[in-house]
Structure 1
Amino acid sequence: MTESKDVLQEARIWVGKQSGKPARARDPVNVPMIRRWCEAMGLTDPVYVDRQAAQAAGYRDIIAPAAMMEVWTMSAYDPRGRQPEDSIPVIDLFDDHGYIGVVATDLQQEYMRPLVVGDVITCTIIVDDVSDEKRTALGIGHFVTLRHEFTDQDDQIVGQMMFRILKFKPNLKQDEAASITEAAGAKPDRTPAHPRPGITHDHAHYWKGIAERKLLIQQCSGCGRLRHPPGPACPVCHALEWEAKEASGRGKLHSFVVVHQPKVPGFSYPLPVLLVELEEGVRMVANAIDVDRDALTIGADLMLDFLEVEPGYLLPGFRLAKVD
């Protein structure tokens, strides 16, 4: 506990201070990136892609969707992970003391003005708060709140973001059990446990189905629309009544990413994450099972399977469908 207090005191020295150097956007706000974002998000407002429409709406040029504010100053991808020049010292401090787990808990953004094509954005991170020690289902840790301030080429603030994360020591119970095992002279198993979902009333049926090796999709009793992930109401007709329909398990690879960083305890990396378009017409994010990165191609036929990541704990995943 003394060590934890020392770490907390050291971390709180950063409160109110800039943590890390400001990140200046590598490129000005530009139309190609805006267009790609709008295509991905389904945004169709012409002020995002058409200069005349933007000027008719009172802007001097095309504007970027507000939620893109953070995108412009993101660091370049590096398979080695975060590099020293991009480090956030208060986060590194917790890493160095064994708080290697991280999970985002909430994010709030405030926009002072729309970003216009040609703006050059800089982000400065200030440590807003470090909480007392908390005991969570993930392990003991501290909530760290970071305030991101975004300024333009004239050093005028254009927005800010409050980002809170939990830095934790994974698997407290497992570590305690390992200590007991170690004291008895045996070699403990310190393999991190796989994170588990927080199950609520809205999707308990889904996880019950997974435990029974069934993939259940919600179907609105009002309009018949299928929806996934599960939710309390139909996004089209707003009906609250629904039924569970078992999916066939057949689908196609709509898109995918291969995650290298950050490395969350309990996963193996590089980590392929699939976006699967099911035969029924809905999409879901799922694991890849026994599929090499080089074998993933958009449009590939996939088949549902279930992966037992821990005894009694199943997750849905997809394999490449066998070709007859």
Structure 2
Amino acid sequence: MTGGPTTPGAGHTAAGKAAAHTEAHTGGDADGDIRFHAALKAFEGRPAATAGRGKDPVNEVMIRHWCEAMGDANPAYTGPDAIAPPTMLQAWTMGGLSGHTGRSGAYDELLALLDGAGCTSVVATDCEQEYLRPLRPGDTITFDAVIESVSARKTTKLGTGHFVTTRMDVHADGRLAGTHRFRILKYAPAGTRATPRPASVPQRPRPVINRDNQGFWDGVREHRLLIQRCTACATLRFPWLPGCNACASPAWDTVEASGAGTVFSYVVMHHPPFPAFDPPYAVAVVELAEGVRLVTNITGVPYDKVRIGLPVQLEFLRVDDTLELPVFRGEAG
């Protein structure tokens, strides 16, 4: 995270307290873990960036490059009244290879403390964005970021560490345009020795169901794969979205997929394994007969027999007592 300077000396007390408890933390002492986490939580609310400034104003060239990379031909992003794709929100705040000057010290202090506790590895886990108004070419971008939360110690397949969440507020010409939350895991890598499998099979991650995709999951429970259709221009879309990406109309209905499709692209997952899955396995982008694509699993054929162009047919896989998923069965040829 980048931004302007902070008050000299800010955070030294928290840094000293956390450093003092690093040994207890890494030794696995429960009281030490509690004290260490309390010191980490002292960073919550402190700035990670203050009065940061985008290196370039919102501009047509970057919008064009983004749309070409994403394959997004929405006419809203071209012409005299163009807006920037909302998902570009963070792109306007990035410092590029040379970075930003005046970086805030609090975020670096926090990461240094975690490094000192043995959490020397880092992986980005997720991001969330909220859009409040469209960005237009010529807008000047400024931003502020804050360390929003630091989790208690968590053990993952990668190793043991802490999740750190930052929130960035992005302004265009002084007006709040959107919010970007970014979460990382700072962790101590797990040992290379194999660990025994748990006696019971863990559950798969649950899908995030919200008002925008509730209808899709309602269809899955009825063994129907539903595709959204814009009632203004008849464009089909998947995944489900609150508005049409072709004409921006919010009006839609659904059509039921026939279930026929072909493998458009795929990868074979080997590592890192998640306890609920048994690698290696294939994850594919399937193109339905109706023309839309979705990410899914391929069943019925070994992972090394999946190929681009493989015909597949929809089926519903009962994963556990509370979860059923649409997958696609291929026939080895």
Q: 1:107 to 1:225 in 2, by over 3 A?
A: closer
1:230 correspondence with 2:250: no
How large is the RMSD of aligned CA atoms in angstroms? Answer: 4.9
Counterpart residue number, 1:144: 164
Counterpart residue number, 2:289: 279
Counterpart residue number, 1:171: none
Q: CA deviation at 1:283?
A: 0.5
Match of 1:133 among 152, 173, 176: 152
The residue identity in structure 1 corresponding to 2:150 is: S
Counterpart residue number, 1:192: 202
Q: 1:238 to 1:131 in 2, by over 3 A?
A: same
1:104 correspondence with 2:97: no
Once the two structures are superposed, residues 113-148 of structure 1 have per-residue CA deviations (whole angstroms, 9 ceiling, x without a partner) of xxxxxxxxxxxxxxx78614399xxxxx943258xx
Aligned residues: 216
Q: 1:214 to 1:2 in 2, by over 3 A?
A: farther
Match of 1:42 among 48, 71, 77: 71
1:250 correspondence with 2:260: yes
1:165 correspondence with 2:184: yes
TM-score by length of 2: 0.50
1:292 correspondence with 2:311: no
User: Does structure 2 conserve the Cα–Cα contact (< 8 Å) formed by 1:132 and 1:142?
Assistant: yes
Identity in percent: 37
User: 2: distance between equivalents of 1:71 and 1:317?
Assistant: 40
The residue identity in structure 1 corresponding to 2:322 is: G
Counterpart residue number, 2:278: 268
Counterpart residue number, 2:318: 308
Q: 1:129 to 1:209 in 2, by over 3 A?
A: closer
The residue identity in structure 2 corresponding to 1:318 is: F
User: Does structure 2 conserve the Cα–Cα contact (< 8 Å) formed by 1:107 and 1:164?
Assistant: no
Match of 1:8 among 37, 46, 54: 37
Once the two structures are superposed, residues 260-283 of structure 1 have per-residue CA deviations (whole angstroms, 9 ceiling, x without a partner) of 334334222223211000000001
SS of the aligned residue for 2:218 comes to: helix
TM-score by length of 1: 0.51
Q: 1:209 to 1:89 in 2, by over 3 A?
A: farther
1:218 correspondence with 2:240: no
Q: 1:237 to 1:41 in 2, by over 3 A?
A: closer
User: Does structure 2 conserve the Cα–Cα contact (< 8 Å) formed by 1:94 and 1:167?
Assistant: no
1:202 correspondence with 2:224: no
User: Does structure 2 conserve the Cα–Cα contact (< 8 Å) formed by 1:252 and 1:300?
Assistant: yes
Q: CA deviation at 1:250?
A: 0.4
Once the two structures are superposed, residues 30-55 of structure 1 have per-residue CA deviations (whole angstroms, 9 ceiling, x without a partner) of xxxxxxx99863389xxxxxxxxxxx
SS of the aligned residue for 2:309 comes to: coil
Q: CA deviation at 1:313?
A: 1.1
Counterpart residue number, 2:109: none
Q: 1:227 to 1:129 in 2, by over 3 A?
A: closer
The residue identity in structure 2 corresponding to 1:104 is: D
The residue identity in structure 2 corresponding to 1:131 is: V
User: 2: distance between equivalents of 1:13 and 1:260?
Assistant: 39
Could you list the runs of 5+ residues in structure 1 that have no partner in the other structure? 17-36, 45-65, 73-87, 109-127, 136-140, 147-160, 169-187
User: Does structure 2 conserve the Cα–Cα contact (< 8 Å) formed by 1:130 and 1:142?
Assistant: no
SS of the aligned residue for 2:215 comes to: helix
User: Does structure 2 conserve the Cα–Cα contact (< 8 Å) formed by 1:289 and 1:307?
Assistant: no
Q: CA deviation at 1:312?
A: 3.4
Counterpart residue number, 2:269: 259
Q: 1:263 to 1:233 in 2, by over 3 A?
A: same
Could you list the runs of 5+ residues in structure 2 that have no partner in the other structure? 1-29, 47-65, 74-90, 98-111, 131-146, 155-160, 167-179, 188-197
The residue identity in structure 2 corresponding to 1:255 is: S
Counterpart residue number, 1:320: 330
User: Does structure 1 conserve the Cα–Cα contact (< 8 Å) formed by 2:165 and 2:184?
Assistant: yes
Q: CA deviation at 1:205?
A: 0.7
The residue identity in structure 2 corresponding to 1:234 is: C
